[in-house]
A and B are shown apart, each in its own frame.
Chain A
């Protein structure tokens, strides 16, 4: 790394950490129903929304009803988007006259955006109308993010509240989260992004004449769309001269801001945040990476405030930062060491395949670890073209279960499940009843924590195994050998952990990935969510045990180290064999 790369990376973490406390305490106020500086403007709207939708704000819910409301709302989201995708050719704001999605692709996409995954098996600029992008996908970006955040808040309440069955009102939490947190931040940053060159308009796509025309060979087709062949069986092609290109337009900035802020990651364009209209400058890149980690980072402080001890939150943030920075270091080393097979051809030895010049290596790599440590999944470089060990970093961050900052809300509640496992294991070692935040950890909490942390991993291993014997899944690989295995493992890990990024060479728009992927995303999102809500319900009913001499202090550095080890051991035990067959083998092949 040169000095500028050090400077921008260090400044990034300084700015992020400086924002954790103000935003974290603001979010705590929002979810504890207190007045904030936005209340004079927003409170009347909030009351109006409750009146129109029939929500009684003081009506608190037990965990079953909270989970039920969450599921019901997500079902509405899914059905609405599914229908919209199937009928987009009949809907307004479609200047490019794009056709409807197939039902398999619509199913996958609707599940994907409802579960905050934003896996995309379609090309945005070709397949989605402005109406779909704005009224469908962007709305899901807001409310699926809010869903994750409010589940985390309900879980925190479970730890904090005593001898009650009530966890809050899902509708109130959802409304306040969207209105007070997501909308204002998105509004400000979407305008900052426009200032950098992110487009925001409803114009039809623009054709411009090329300065120098270009040409390509186009395969000739017969009436049925089958490629024609000559007498020797070679495909027939004709040379097409291209004199102008069509540049896509659209309301991009408003979607870009919430896509990063809500750790959604679904790009307006196929190239996602590598596209110059989504991420035009190094500053826009800096801001987008900041938005990705902003809420997951600040939520640790919100947790600390609500739990009455902010050190508890800082400890979790420390664990997240340590693993994130370590993986960033390895990725930066791997990409600046480059690919010896390319260097041998007389090329400078850094890996620029699938990267943009303007971001530089550090700006590309920081984005990569931020987007995979969280469940964002937006990309500003193509992960498929990373060096093998480099590519193993985003893959590992996903496989760890999206807890290194993690998805908005979902990262925190899964991390809390890991903390419970860590407390339990250390409790076994010292022969004490495990406690966390003054609540006794018993069989039910253990079951629910294990469900929360292992569900995605089990889904990944089973589905990757099935994929290896499914001809359609194997045929979809775009690279041969060990790299192909990594593509498949990455795809399934990405969907099961609700990340949404891809080793994008894989042809994902086939029934295998559309249908099994929908299943993986659904299980990966809702099983852990329901498990942690059930755990919160049981924790809320318990009495508070004041810390004694035998209590493991969970707000001190030794616990942070222990938690880090537990996370790494669980991850390594589950996935080492798969990683050894994919990226590790490929690295050895590349170096020798």
Chain B
């Protein structure tokens, strides 16, 4: 029973160190060295006020905007308070029906050929800010038409919002949809 005292006191001590000093230290250093990232990588829109985080996707359905990946967050897509995926299994009939509807919506917007998987399958977080360059490419014609811009101008905006593989080989190339759409609104 001589171990009761260390059990309780060490718990209290580690709570102070790991639950108080450590996160406070990380917060302090982060605020000094990486203030923008620590606060959520927010960007400003046309009017100069915060338009969202570059890391958190937003819902778009208007033909003049690039469409993001489908999102399965509850209540509405890209609900940042309810991150999560569809958790639909690969043979679930309801899931297959949903994907078929998404493909149809894309076809109706003028998309032909094979549809990139990321554009009709929901992300894990439901907040994925990116689409693949292929998914961006097949929306260019629609957006140029809706905005009365040349396809070249839209493609240039896509190129600006495209991030390559990190350090040249990590991850996948991707296009940030919110950054791209804000850029289009500035044109």
Answer yes or no: are A and B bound together in one complex: yes
CB pair A245–B122 under 8 Å, yes or no, is no
Smallest CB–CB gap between B69 and chain A, Å?
7
Contacts A53-B13, A211-B45, A380-B124 given; does A270 touch B83 at CB 8 Å? yes
Which chain A residue lies CB-closest to B90? A339
> What total count of A-B pairs have CB within 8 Å?
378
Which of B15-23, B144-152, B153-161 interfaces with chain A? B15-23
Which chain B residue lies CB-closest to A363? B171
Partner of A65, one of B3, B90, B100, B182: B3
CB pair B26–A211 under 8 Å, yes or no, is no
| Residues from 61 to 118 in B contacting A, C-beta threshold 8 Å | 61-62, 65, 69, 75-93, 95-96, 99-100, 103, 114-118
Partner of A354, one of B27, B96, B122: B122
CB pair B27–A202 under 8 Å, yes or no, is yes
CB pair B82–A191 under 8 Å, yes or no, is no
A337-363 to B contact mask, C-beta < 8 Å, 1/0:
011011001111111111111111001
CB pair A197–B41 under 8 Å, yes or no, is yes
Partner of B123, one of A143, A218, A339, A355: A355
Which chain B residue lies CB-closest to A11? B169
Smallest CB–CB gap between B115 and chain A, Å?
5
Q: Is B143 an interface residue (CB 8 A)?
A: no
CB pair B100–A345 under 8 Å, yes or no, is yes
Contacts A186-B22, A210-B58, A251-B26 given; does A123 touch B82 at CB 8 Å? yes
A126-150 to B contact mask, C-beta < 8 Å, 1/0:
1000000011101101110000000
Smallest CB–CB gap between B2 and chain A, Å?
8
Size category, B interface: 35 or more
Cβ–Cβ < 8 Å partners of B11 in chain A: 73, 76-77, 80, 143
CB pair A194–B124 under 8 Å, yes or no, is no
Smallest CB–CB gap between B179 and chain A, Å?
11
Smallest CB–CB gap between A487 and chain B, Å?
8
Task: Report the separation of the CA atoms of residues A404 and B141 in the bound assembly, to the nearest whole angstrom.
Answer: 49
Q: Is A248 an interface residue (CB 8 A)?
A: yes
CB pair A138–B65 under 8 Å, yes or no, is no
CB pair A190–B26 under 8 Å, yes or no, is yes
Cβ–Cβ < 8 Å partners of B17 in chain A: 178-179, 183
A179-219 to B contact mask, C-beta < 8 Å, 1/0:
10001001100110011111111110110111110111010
Task: Report the separation of the CA atoms of residues A468 and B166 in the bound assembly, to the nearest whole angstrom.
Answer: 46
Task: Report the separation of the CA atoms of residues A286 and B172 in the bound assembly, to the nearest whole angstrom.
Answer: 13
Q: Is A504 an interface residue (CB 8 A)?
A: yes
Task: Report the separation of the CA atoms of residues A203 and B100 in the bound assembly, to the nearest whole angstrom.
Answer: 41
Q: Is A309 an interface residue (CB 8 A)?
A: no
B31-52 to A contact mask, C-beta < 8 Å, 1/0:
1011001111110010001111
Partner of B78, one of A7, A215, A245, A347: A245
CB pair B171–A359 under 8 Å, yes or no, is yes
Smallest CB–CB gap between B73 and chain A, Å?
9
Cβ–Cβ < 8 Å partners of B56 in chain A: 247, 276-277
Task: Report the separation of the CA atoms of residues A11 and B169 in the bound assembly, to the nearest whole angstrom.
Answer: 10
Partner of B90, one of A269, A274, A363, A388: A388
Task: Give 11 A-B pairs besides A143-B14, A194-B26 with Cβ atoms closer than 8 angstroms.
Answer: A125-B81, A125-B82, A139-B15, A195-B34, A201-B38, A212-B60, A242-B76, A276-B129, A478-B88, A504-B87, A505-B89
- In the assembled complex, 18 residue pairs joining A and B whose CB atoms fall closer than 8 Å, in A order, are A4-B169, A52-B13, A138-B18, A171-B10, A194-B26, A195-B34, A200-B31, A201-B39, A247-B53, A249-B40, A282-B170, A348-B116, A357-B130, A385-B86, A387-B90, A479-B87, A479-B92, A590-B90
Query: Which 3 A-B residue pairs are closest in the complex by CB-CB distance?
Result: A282-B171, A505-B87, A274-B124
